[in-house]
Amino acid sequence: MINIAIDGPSGAGKSTVAKLIAAKLGITYLDTGAMYRACALYAVRNGVSVDDEEAVKKILPNIRISFTGEGESKKILLNGEDVSSAIREHYVSKAASDISKLPSVRDYLVAQQRKIASETDVVLDGRDITSNVLPHAEFKFFLTASADVRAMRRYKELIALGADIEFEKVKADIIDRDKNDSQRAYAPLVLTPDSTLIDSSDMSPEQVADLIISRVSDGRRGR
């Protein structure tokens, strides 16, 4: 079984790179951030505060997340509804970061992520994959880039989705989210000593994917 774990802050290019790796190696891609986003979307839609642990805990059994399709046509389903676009809206990013602090939400999603990783060859990206979800994964990477580069990538994505937003706002929100994700008490974003650090500021997604694939191939040859 191959498990490739990639962590890093928002906008580091993790999901683009993970998708490329999955396509090139013919393995599954699991976007764990999308799972937190889907939980946040469900809470917001149902008027439940993403900071209220007790209230969120009660709705967790009503949240069924699944994936369908592969590659570019991969979709995330929330109780059977395709929410792939809805979870990318700007307000969902902050709500996802907030809901991801709650231990009950993390435990609920991490159990699902571990199950998928035990059954399939998979590349997963997120914040706590290398430290908490799969601490014993054979291949662990921490992908980052400067705040400016990450904010510009996110800004372009949002503009492409038709959002009316300023670059400075996107950058401030990214910095705020970095703080939220790395300073929370439960399973924060950390660089583990056994992860390979990659700074993608001056690299294309293809270059990063090829670098990771070459590390994986070397590792497998050395078994």
**Phi, psi of 81, rounded to the nearest 5 degrees:** -90, 135
DSSP annotation of 62 reads G
Query: 124: part of which helix (H) or strand (E)?
Result: strand 122-126
The distance of closest approach from Cβ of residue 34 to ligand DC in the complex, given in angstroms and rounded to an integer, is: 6
The distance of closest approach from Cβ of residue 201 to ligand DC in the complex, given in angstroms and rounded to an integer, is: 18
Q: Which of 19, 127, 150, 153 binds ligand DC (CB under 6 A)?
A: 127
User: Which range of residues in 60-68, 123-131, 206-214, 215-223 is near ligand DC by CB under 6 A?
Assistant: 123-131
The answer to whether 131 contacts ligand DC (rule: CB under 6 A) is: no
Give the integer Cα–Cα distance in Å for 161 and 193. Answer: 37
The distance of closest approach from Cβ of residue 221 to ligand DC in the complex, given in angstroms and rounded to an integer, is: 29
Residues 150, 32: contact at Cβ < 8 Å? no
The distance of closest approach from Cβ of residue 205 to ligand DC in the complex, given in angstroms and rounded to an integer, is: 15
User: Which range of residues in 73-81, 93-101, 114-122, 163-171 is near ligand DC by CB under 6 A?
Assistant: 93-101
Task: Find the binding residues for ligand DC in span 153-172 (CB under 6 A).
Answer: none
Q: Which residue has the tokens 């400075």?
A: 168
The answer to whether 3 contacts ligand DC (rule: CB under 6 A) is: no
Q: Which of 4, 21, 28, 33 binds ligand DC (CB under 6 A)?
A: 33
Query: 197: part of which helix (H) or strand (E)?
Result: strand 196-199
Give me the 35-74 binding string for ligand DC, x by CB under 6 A, dash otherwise. -xx-------------------------------------
Closest CA relative to residue 191, chosen from 201, 181, 177: 181
- Judged on CB neighbours under 10 Å (0-12, 13-18, 19+), 24 is middle
